[in-house]
A and B are shown apart, each in its own frame.
Chain A
Amino acid sequence: DQQVKQNSPSLSVQEGRISILNCDYTNSMFDYFLWYKKYPAEGPTFLISISSIKDKNEDGRFTVFLNKSAKHLSLHIVPSQPGDSAVYFCAATQGAQKLVFGQGTRLTINP
């Protein structure tokens, strides 16, 4: 049972435009959500997170939105840059429990 789903395996965006990566979850007890970025031949690195008490968190070009009623979160990257080309994983956790990851979305930024 996949509790965290990223339904788009890949996304292609033009440089300078907005990239929107989506993530859905089924467990309403999740209270903390994170996004990781992964380059080839490297481990994932933490990008941004959001607590369930918020609906938005920003860090520079990256913004995460949380819609608890829809059990949906999204990562917005504005403006997109070639260095943003990577695989993005969303993850969720409940309290001090284990992180559950989505399948990942490969983002390609075209010049």
Chain B
Amino acid sequence: NAGVTQTPKFQVLKTGQSMTLQCAQDMNHEYMSWYRQDPGMGLRLIHYSVGAGITDQGEVPNGYNVSRSTTEDFPLRLLSAAPSQTSVYFCASSYSRGQTPLHFGNGTRLTVT
């Protein structure tokens, strides 16, 4: 069991570039989510999905897109990178939303110059 796998581990983008952060889980979890971690802000929810074909916005969705075509994969797309999107991004999954503990990937550190 690999758990939650995120790629890449590090990425540097120029302002205006686009990219996709990959997230895959092998635990057959229905719920998947993306968080960003910034100093002094904790973990903030960007987007989430309660199952294949269903996605919804979290706290800070602007500038990001997601899709969920399979149970296993939940990619996060940055449409036009901005310096404010410099952050550490975590993908997480669980059996269901709410009271089930989340399993996190090891994160992607993104720098936008």
Contact = CB atoms under 8 A, between A and B. Distances in A.
A89 B44 CA distance: 12
B4 A32 contact: no
B107 interface: yes
B99 A45 contact: no
B98 A95 contact: yes
A95 B44 CA distance: 19
A101 B97 contact: no
Contacts of B105: 43
- Kindly state the interface size class of chain B when it binds its partner: 20 to 34
Nearest to A96: B98
B40 A103 contact: yes
B50 to A, nearest CB: 9
A44 B43 contact: yes
B97 A97 contact: yes
Nearest to A103: B42
Contact of B58 (A41, A93, A94, A98): A98
Interface string B94-113: 00111101111111000000
Interface of B: 4, 33, 35, 40-45, 48, 58, 90, 92, 96-99, 101-107
Given A42-B106, A43-B92, A101-B35, 18 more contacts: A6-B42, A32-B99, A34-B101, A36-B104, A41-B106, A44-B43, A46-B102, A49-B99, A91-B43, A93-B99, A95-B98, A97-B97, A97-B98, A98-B48, A99-B45, A99-B102, A101-B43, A103-B41
